Amino acid sequence: MKRFFLSALAMILLTGVASASEPEYFNVYKPSDGMTADEIMQIEYFVKYTKFARDVELNGTAYFVDKSGSTRERATSRQRITLGRKSDDLAYKDLNLFTSPAQVRGLATLGWTYMNPARQTDTWLWVPSLKKIRKISSANADDTFMGSDFTVDDIVTRKFEDETYILIGSENFKGYDCEYDKKVYFKDAPCFVIEAKPKKSPWYYSKRVLWVDKNTGGGVYEEMYGPDGKMFKTIFKDFRIFKVDGKDYATQVLLECKDLRSGHRTVIANSDIRYDQGLSEELFTEKALSRSRW
Amino acid sequence: MRKLIILLLVVPFTFLNSYAGAVENLSISGYLKNETALGMKSLNEVPKFKNIISLSGEYTFNDQFAMFASGRYWYDAAYSWRDKYDSAQTFMQHVQRTDWLRDCYLDYTSDKLDMRLGKQQVAWGQADGITILDRVNPFDLTEYWVQDMADIRIPLWMANVKYSPKLNSTLQFLVIPDFEQSTSAPPGSPYTFRSYTLYDSWKKGKNVVEDIQYPDKEFENSTFGVQWSDRVGDMDYTFNYLHGYYYSASTYTQVYNPYLNKYSFLREFKQWNMYGTSFNKTFTNPGPLEGITLRGDFAYYNREPVYYGTDGSSTGYHLWDNVFWLLGVDRYIATGWLASFQFAQYIMEDAKPGIPGKVTLNRYTYGPADQIENIFSFKLTKSFLHDRVKPEFFWTGTDDNQGRISPKVTYELKDNLWLTVGAHYFYGHVQDTNGQFRESSQVFMNLKYAF
């Protein structure tokens, strides 16, 4: 009996230590030398989903470029409120709206993402051709994200708990030649190199190799490998620091994803980014979604 | 010449769009669209060559107030090409009266209170393409149910007020002083209801006088609606109530003079009530149901007009209490394939009208109607080539072995240019809702330029 209580106490203490090491919402974290792969990746996810900010608004354009260079555009507006609320398990809520071209203008989605890593996102869709809201099932994680080269997993659903991590090393990044604006990004930037393997198997990728920028905590570049071990996709993210109330917010301003099999690539350029405007949670409701006029 | 016409149409709207960009807070958008259909029985038959122009504008005064208006004009050249459709030409060749104005409203939005005042449409319920709670606006059924629901609903002038006493809960009030009746295609059109065609044939050679009594334009004749929507756990639900005039007139023979062979028909609109509820829930937690969205509508129609008579001939109507309910299931079944299945039941108050020799009638066909109609629908959609190609398969049918199959593929030629090709195939008995159009199956092609 005594052994049971000691074991239970040890479990509680260990759990306490584990949760204490998880980043807390609305704080700013940066990875540092000496951290484990798990600690670095917890920060990477924290930065990816802007959990440091109360809210964020991103206006930008997505470019779909095929092998021949033919380009299609989608202008989007995205708002997110971070909640980190244990009472109803809500991590954050997202509102995504297509603003152009005219054919897709008005198409909007509302997503509620939960803190429980095993739980899927609740999604509502405003369908202009129906002029009504439809509750929709979450797309599969390996589905394309809104027609881009990113998967739903890449942008929305992948969580820290979905993979295991190994710290391969620490190095200065070789730099990324961006096809969108022909610039070289993050040349010689000090990065951690992490290997991430999905717990789900079989899965559409066997591993990712990420370069996590020590300055921002953002995963600036990653290579994705298929079940056959061949690299099939690369993702680049340009992170910039936004000063908000004296805090450094690492922000994705440009993303470029290349499908090495098809030669197709997707660029998302966020041109207008605003943090902590005091967005009301009322903006992330079905009522707000139904305000769409298009 | 064709290029010149296209230029003349496109340039002004491109200019308008640029102008809107230059004027702060004003946003203009629109499209030019051609809808061409060919009869499946004979590809020489062109039941539709519809050219549509639509223009929408939004002006934002500030964070709380905005004005939105949209108009749509169309001309269907098929009705001027073929004699067969001459009888329907007046009504079907171009947009009627003020129907060109689709939206015109002022929006006020705040955290707790939203108001939308003006001409608009309101969609209730969770059903997809089956109108159970979606009865706030009347319907334009001149092309049956094959168009998008946003085009089928006839917008009305109304006050639409939403108040949220707490997060995710909304109380909606509708006051609709405007009245329009649902419309259907006149005889001679591809989608003329059998009931209309039979009545029209019967009328020939007779002295028929129709007296249509519209509701008086008084406030008490307005339609009133209330919806409460809330969330329990991770399930959304609503309670709905609608009171007003039924949007289809009920017809009966008021006077028959056998000496003059003269019939006097009275067509009157009756008040009815709809009580309903709806829900949706996505199973987000791990388990066998993970990823499934369940949704449902239930409606109790109080005093809904139901025709009775003999096959092909209506002799009167009852005001019955009927029930219409639906359960829908959606799920991604493979990478990117979204499957959607619906089952609905329309249950009439009684199996028979209680008049010897008479049966209850299907309102679209005047064929005998079952007391319980079981309705099914299935939709499968997927996007390919980075959302550039979107195939869709849709089937709807009933337990009477009648239905409609509508496959289509939409291809994005350029950012603003979309091509859709597809078909509407009808099967079943001519007395049934879909079966009546079994000779009107068609293939179609739509070309849309949006700006």
Question: Which pLDDT score is estimated for B350?
Answer: 94
**Tens digits of residue pLDDT in B67-107:** 999 999 999 999 888 676 677 888 888 888 888 999 999 99
Is A27 within the bounds of a domain? no
CB B263 within 8 A of CB B253: yes
- Nearest Cα of chain B lies from the Cα of A270 at a distance, in angstroms, of 20
| Residues of chain A found within 8 Å of residue B140, distances taken between Cβ atoms | none
Is A4 within the bounds of a domain? no
Of residues B30, B103, B386, nearest to A264 (C-beta): B386
Question: Which pLDDT score is estimated for A1?
Answer: 44
Contact B386 A138 (CB under 8 A): no
Measured from the Cβ of residue A83, the count of other Cβ atoms closer than 10 Å reads 23
Q: What are residue B141's DSSP bridge partners?
A: B184
Is A294 within the bounds of a domain? no
Is A60 within the bounds of a domain? yes
Contacts of B317 (CB under 8 A, 6+ apart): B250, B251, B252, B305, B306, B307, B308
Question: Which pLDDT score is estimated for B210?
Answer: 87
Contact B170 A286 (CB under 8 A): yes
Please state the rounded mean pLDDT for residues A122-143: 87
Q: What is the CATH number of the domain that holds A277?
A: 2.50.20.10
C-alpha B131/C-alpha B159 separation (Å) is 22
| Residues of chain A found within 8 Å of residue B331, distances taken between Cβ atoms | 137
Contact A137 B293 (CB under 8 A): yes
Query: Is the Cβ of A67 closer than 8 Å to some Cβ of chain B?
Result: no
Percent helix, strand, coil in chain B, to 5, is 10, 55, 35
Is A18 within the bounds of a domain? no
C-alpha A124/C-alpha A116 separation (Å) is 19
Contacts of B377 (CB under 8 A, 6+ apart): B128, B129, B130, B340, B341, B342, B344, B394, B395, B396, B397
Is A43 within the bounds of a domain? yes
Q: Report whether pLDDT(B11) > 80.
A: no
Q: Is A28 left (phi over 0), alpha (psi -120 to 50) or beta?
A: beta
Contact B284 A280 (CB under 8 A): no
Question: Which pLDDT score is estimated for B426?
Answer: 97
pLDDT band at A20 (very low <50, low <70, confident <90, very high): very low
Q: Report whether pLDDT(B430) > 90.
A: yes
Whether omega before B47 lies within 30 degrees of 0, making that bond cis, reads: no
Question: The tokens 């939005």 sit on which residue?
Answer: B109
Structure tokens at B371: 């007391």
| Mean pLDDT of the residues in chain B | 91
Contacts of B251 (CB under 8 A, 6+ apart): B265, B266, B267, B314, B317
Of residues A105, A119, A130, nearest to B285 (C-beta): A119
**Tens digits of residue pLDDT in B396-417:** 999 999 999 999 999 999 889 9
- Nearest Cα of chain B lies from the Cα of A42 at a distance, in angstroms, of 22
Quote the percentage of chain A above a pLDDT of 90. 73
| Direct distance between the N- and C-terminal alpha carbons of chain A, in angstroms, rounded to an integer | 67
- Nearest Cα of chain B lies from the Cα of A278 at a distance, in angstroms, of 13
| Residues of chain A found within 8 Å of residue B126, distances taken between Cβ atoms | 134-135
C-alpha B134/C-alpha B128 separation (Å) is 10
Q: Report whether pLDDT(A10) > 60.
A: no
pLDDT band at A137 (very low <50, low <70, confident <90, very high): confident
- Which domain covers residue A160, as residue numbers? 32-289
**Residues in chain A, total:** 294
**Tens digits of residue pLDDT in B295-318:** 999 999 999 999 999 999 998 999
Q: Report whether pLDDT(A34) > 60.
A: yes
| Residues of chain A found within 8 Å of residue B240, distances taken between Cβ atoms | none
What ipTM was predicted for this assembly?
A: 0.89
- pTM of the full predicted structure? 0.89
- Name which of A61, A203, A293, A294 to mutate to probe chain B: the one with the most chain B Cβ atoms within 10 A of its Cβ: A293
| Mean pLDDT of the residues in chain A | 89
C-alpha A244/C-alpha A260 separation (Å) is 37
- Name which of A70, A76, A103, A129 to mutate to probe chain B: the one with the most chain B Cβ atoms within 10 A of its Cβ: A103
Q: Write the single-letter amino acid at B360.
A: T
Question: Which pLDDT score is estimated for B335?
Answer: 72
Contact A123 B282 (CB under 8 A): yes
Q: Show the domains of chain B with their CATH numbers.
A: 2-450 (2.40.160.10)
Question: Which pLDDT score is estimated for A6?
Answer: 46
Residue of A nearest to B280 (CA): A135
Is A22 within the bounds of a domain? no
Contact B293 A73 (CB under 8 A): no
Residue of A nearest to B150 (CA): A130
| Residues of chain A found within 8 Å of residue B56, distances taken between Cβ atoms | 293-294
Q: How many domains does chain A have?
A: 1
CB B4 within 8 A of CB B12: no
